[in-house]
């Protein structure tokens, strides 16, 4: 079964995606600042993921583009879409 491209959730278009580049640094670090941080932390704990909960990745040098194409499996927006 093919998914509809319009149904794909992308971090680049999400209001909860936030980037931070410290002064003097060349790369932006992107995180998910979704209000349901408890769900994200629980997902990371259950799957034994050792990176920072909610971390999406680092952008390319001197770029503000989000490094992930689609939302990761732990995205609370995906969970909400499945419940509908």
Per-residue confidence of the chain (84 residues) as pLDDT tens digits? 445 556 788 999 999 999 999 999 999 999 999 999 999 999 999 999 999 999 999 999 988 899 988 999 999 998 888 777
Residue 45 is classified by DSSP as H
**Residue 79 pLDDT:** 83
**Residue 21 pLDDT:** 93
Beta strands in 1-84 (DSSP E): 17-20, 29-32, 55-58
Q: How many CA atoms are closer than 13 Å to the CA of 82, on its beta-carbon side?
A: 7
**Residue 5 pLDDT:** 57
Residue 35: name the closest of 18, 13, 58, 10 by CA: 18
């Amino acid at each position: 079964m093919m998914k509809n491209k319009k149904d794909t959730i992308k971090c680049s278009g999400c209001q909860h995606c936030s980037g931070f580049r410290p002064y003097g640094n060349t790369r932006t670090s992107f995180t998910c600042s979704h209000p349901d941080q408890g769900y994200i932390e629980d997902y990371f704990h259950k799957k034994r993921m050792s990176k920072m909960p909610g971390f999406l990745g680092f952008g390319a040098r001197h770029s503000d583009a989000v490094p992930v194409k689609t939302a990761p499996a732990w995205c609370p927006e995906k969970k909400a879409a499945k419940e509908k």
